[in-house]
A and B are shown apart, each in its own frame.
Chain A
Amino acid sequence: MAIIFLRTIIVLVAIIISMRIMGKRQLGDLELSELVVGILIANLASQPLQDIGIPLINGLVPVVTLLCFELLITGGIVKSVTFRRIICGRPSILIKDGRVIQTEMHKNRFTLDELSEELRRQGNYDFSKIKYAILETDGSLNAILFPAEMPVTASQMNIEVEDNGFPFIVINNGVLLPRNMEQAGFDNKWLKKTLKSNGVKEPSEVYLMTVNPGGQVYFCPMECEKR
């Protein structure tokens, strides 16, 4: 049992490191090669965990090999449009100018039920309002409405909107994040003043505090002792 315990830790660390090296792509919507590699890694890495008679290296070598091939494939996908087309395919336009393209639906073996479901998931209930619906290479569906059906924007209404920038988390569960504070353009002097104005002395008394470059602060004090 101790052997299985230790092997599990080793395999877990190896997979985390591999996934980390592969990057955020592997965590989000998956392309075909990424899905295959993810499934294979899970299955291959578990073999030595199930049978301690199998050498651990029989699980680690495939994981590392798959990692390397995945890095090479994604590198090729980024650098070459042709290679990307071979590995990932092309997006398919299922609705064009408001009309469902039946040949594309048949080609992708996509049913109207699935199309309706995906559109409803995005808040689109009426086919007549959709100008384009594109089935992406990772299997997700994106819908683009007719301009007349899109929500109005401030610029279309000629309304000036204040842009206060991106809010940075400065204090997270009682811990000060000085780098974020600097990126927002503030310093410790500002922090002390802000904490005082909100009735606290130390960052440890704050659950969440955000600030944007425009100076707008969101403040949430700690309700009980820091967890």
Chain B
Amino acid sequence: MRREIFAGVLLLLILAGSIMNSKYAGGQIDDLLETLDESKQLAEIGSYAEAEELVASALEHWESLSVYTHIMIRHSSVDDVTNCLYDLMSFLGSADGGALRGAYSKAESCLKGIMEIERVTLQSVF
């Protein structure tokens, strides 16, 4: 009986851990998306320098999570997000307005992709 109780408790802990992880990952990505959104609005009115600063702070935030992201998330996905943010910064730095919309969408898509993987939905399960 002891083993069964141990197994049941462990399963519940794994479930609780997965839910907490999903919420935490969702929260962090929501913060990053919010920052990117603010940056996008600044870029749209031509304030590229401020927009670039916000992207830099988003990148710093993302890199500060590197221990967590590399333990919990596929490394290729982590690298994709990092690369998207660097690309975005380089477009902002060169004030290349034409490519910016695409770059922002790509960065948002990478971040949302990670959030979708961690969220339990029909799409992510199947």
B74 touches A71 (CB 8 A): no
B125 vs chain A, min Cβ distance (A): 14
**Chain B interface: which of A9-17, A59-67, A168-176, A201-209?**
A59-67
The winner among A58, A64, A65, A71 for most chain B CB atoms within 10 A is A71
B70 touches A55 (CB 8 A): yes
A57 touches B72 (CB 8 A): yes
A56 to B3, CA, bound (A): 25
B11 touches A53 (CB 8 A): no
A82-107 interface bits toward B, Cβ cutoff 8 Å, 1 = contact, 0 = none: 00000000000000000000000000
Taking the complex as formed, is B126 at the interface, i.e. its CB lies under 8 A from any CB of chain A?
Answer: no
| B 1-36 contacts with A by CB, 8 A | 1, 3-4, 6-8, 10-11, 14
B4 touches A72 (CB 8 A): yes
A63 vs chain B, min Cβ distance (A): 11
Please give me the residue from chain A that is nearest to B70 by CB atom: A55
B7 touches A54 (CB 8 A): no
Partner of A53, one of B6, B71, B74: B74
A71 vs chain B, min Cβ distance (A): 4
Question: CB-CB < 8 A to B1: which residues of A?
Answer: 75
Also in contact, A75 and B75, with CB within 8 A (given A61-B14, A64-B14, A65-B11): no
B74 touches A21 (CB 8 A): no
A71 touches B76 (CB 8 A): no
A224 to B50, CA, bound (A): 82
B4 touches A71 (CB 8 A): yes
Interface size class of B (residues with CB under 8 A): 10 to 19
A35-62 interface bits toward B, Cβ cutoff 8 Å, 1 = contact, 0 = none: 0000000000000000011111110010
Also in contact, A68 and B71, with CB within 8 A (given A21-B3, A75-B3, A75-B4): no
Taking the complex as formed, is A69 at the interface, i.e. its CB lies under 8 A from any CB of chain B?
Answer: yes
Interface size class of A (residues with CB under 8 A): 10 to 19
A22 to B71, CA, bound (A): 27
Taking the complex as formed, is B73 at the interface, i.e. its CB lies under 8 A from any CB of chain A?
Answer: yes
B4 touches A53 (CB 8 A): no
Partner of A68, one of B10, B70, B72, B73: B10
B71 touches A71 (CB 8 A): no
B residues apposed to A, CB below 8 Å:
1, 3-4, 6-8, 10-11, 14, 70-76
A residues apposed to B, CB below 8 Å:
21, 52-58, 61, 64-65, 67-69, 71-72, 75
Q: A53-B76, A55-B71, A71-B3 are in contact. List 14 more A-B contacts (CB 8 A).
A: A53-B74, A54-B75, A55-B72, A55-B73, A65-B11, A67-B7, A67-B10, A68-B10, A69-B7, A69-B11, A71-B4, A72-B7, A75-B4, A75-B7
The 4 closest A-B pairs by CB, nearest first: A71-B7, A75-B4, A68-B7, A53-B75
CB<8 Å pairs between A and B, sample of 11: A53-B75, A55-B72, A56-B71, A57-B71, A61-B14, A64-B10, A65-B11, A67-B7, A69-B7, A71-B7, A72-B11
